[in-house]
Amino acid sequence: MHRTMQTMREKNPDHLPSSSSTFPSDQHPHTPTQTLDTSIWCRLPPSLFDRILHFLPAPAFFRLQLLSCRIRALLFSPSFLHSHILLSPLRPSFAFFPNSNPSSLYLLDPTSLSWHHLPLAPLLPSHIPVAPAASSAGLLCFVSLTAGPKTLLLINPLSKLIANLPQNPTPRLSPAIGLSVGPSSLSVVIAGDNLISPFSVKNLSSEMFFADTTPTLSPWSLSSPLPRLCSIEPNRMVFSSGKFYCMSVSPYAVLVYDQASNSWSHIQPPMRRYLRSPSLVEFGEGVGLVAAVEKNRLNVPRSVRVWSLQPCGHSWVEISRMPVDVHARFYENCGGGESTGAFECVGHGGLIAFVAGTNSEVLLFDMPRREWRWAPSCRYPCEGGLKVFAYEPRIATPAIGLLTMAS
């Protein structure tokens, strides 16, 4: 068998490996695998082999780019990248960062239920501390943690492309950050936590960065003032139909920034007096809200519920509740106690991923199927819990090149 495989490699060193050739640490033992017929792949003409690569989803290249110099050169050639954008199927995934080490990226592919480790330390700056803050269309956004004007860094972890945004002019501590990336445009919003003195912050304003194919001299611009009495949490925003959404606390409210009108508004969430750990999530083309609900005085069992924002933009409809047995396990992961502990979640491509407190277990909710299931355990170090972001692996992210035009 070893001689046969060696002979095939000599005939065509760029042959596609069988799935058993993938990194064993990246696959869960219960993940179904498909063995590719190497007797077919090794006889394919190089031109046909290259054409097939155009149709593979981006996660397939985690192992393919290790095979030969020719394939590595092909993957990042302009002609291949252009065709891959048009032909490759999109595969929504989830990016997890250990709270103790934000320079390690653990990618969960919900389709194959496999984990991949992408070290980011060589791509991140060593002179300033940064943390993941947002994601969109194959790009991850990192923000500087030091108080003051913020440094934002965009990274494509597959192509290892890096771009810095111009530093925003307003000093802030821990603002909320939103990112929206399109084929030929890029938008970033920074909101809240204005530093009004070295020891005091206040939620006063937001700033907008926009880049497209038309160069602009002053990319950062102040947007309209934030709604009065808002208290924005330093978490991610959700983007849908030209609007950024984020949570405000004390009391809970959903803040909405409309890019077209350059204005802020707010929406009252459902059952806001009884919510715990509310999070906004992407629902395909819409927006959802996930939160624990606790009404002890009314003798209502604890639960985690999912609502969808209706097209009118003002009302919510409950679409699912976490099953009792699933909630019991999730509740323990949150720390137990008299109330449900902190957790976070993110939506992407019809799925919602949940992580609880310092626990590394990942719960997935399939919205179209109304199905709850636990993901395979992450086999990498997860001390201190995980922070999760929606992520869509892409070899090509043309929008990152717009930053050189807007600088």
The residue with greater pLDDT, 55 or 330, is 330
Report the pLDDT value the prediction gives residue 179, as an integer from 0 to 100: 97
The residue with greater pLDDT, 90 or 255, is 255
Sign of torsion over alpha carbons 86, 88, 94, 100: negative
Task: Output the CA–CA distances (angstroms, integers) from residue 351 to 110, 178, 203, 308, in the order listed.
Answer: 9, 20, 32, 13
- Quote the percentage of the chain above a pLDDT of 70: 77
Report the pLDDT value the prediction gives residue 170, as an integer from 0 to 100: 94
What is the DSSP annotation of 125-186?
A: -SSS-EEEEEEETTEEEEEE-SSBSPPEEEEETTTTEEEEPPPPSS-BSS-EEEEEE-SSEE
The Cα 185–Cα 139 span in angstroms is: 13
Report the pLDDT value the prediction gives residue 183, as an integer from 0 to 100: 82
Confidence category of residue 168, pLDDT binned at 50, 70, 90: very high
Ordered by where they begin, the domains of the chain are: 2-25+33-87 (no CATH), 93-406 (2.120.10.80)
Task: Output the CA–CA distances (angstroms, integers) from residue 165 to 118, 320, 364, in the order listed.
Answer: 23, 39, 33
Report the pLDDT value the prediction gives residue 102, as an integer from 0 to 100: 85
Report the pLDDT value the prediction gives residue 385, as an integer from 0 to 100: 87
Report the pLDDT value the prediction gives residue 236, as an integer from 0 to 100: 82
pTM over 0.85: no
Question: For residues 252 and 278, is the Cβ–Cβ distance under 8 A?
Answer: yes
Q: What is the pLDDT of residues 71-82, one digit of tens each?
A: 667 766 777 766
